[in-house]
Amino acid sequence: MNKVTRLRHALPMSPDISRAVNDLDGAIAKAVDTAKTAGIPQGLIVGLLHGHAHAQTHQMVTA
């Protein structure tokens, strides 16, 4: 887990990190809105997001 950074220890965050976090948040929100508009059930959206979060967490703790 040596590649994991705790944001509270990295504050203040650089403008590049802040921009990347905002871009990521915006992209996720846009994708969720698009999925809702397409009629994908909310539970499926949540399940997919949870699955990706779980997979990314697994990669962080095993790297």
Residue matched to tokens 């698009």: 34
Task: Kindly state whether residue 43 falls inside one of the protein's structural domains.
Answer: yes
pLDDT of residue 44: 97
Contacts for 49 with CB less than 8 Å, ≥ 6 apart: 28, 32
Cis check: omega of the bond before 15, within 30 degrees of 0: no
Alpha helices in 1-63 (DSSP H): 7-10, 15-37, 42-62
Task: Kindly state whether residue 61 falls inside one of the protein's structural domains.
Answer: yes
Q: Which domain holds residue 60?
A: 37-63
Task: Kindly state whether residue 31 falls inside one of the protein's structural domains.
Answer: no
Give, for all 63 residues of the chain, the pLDDT tens digit: 566 666 666 667 788 988 998 999 999 999 999 999 999 999 999 999 999 999 999 998 887
Predicted TM-score (pTM) of the model is 0.72
- 46: which 2 tokens? 């949540």
The total of structural domains in the chain comes to: 1
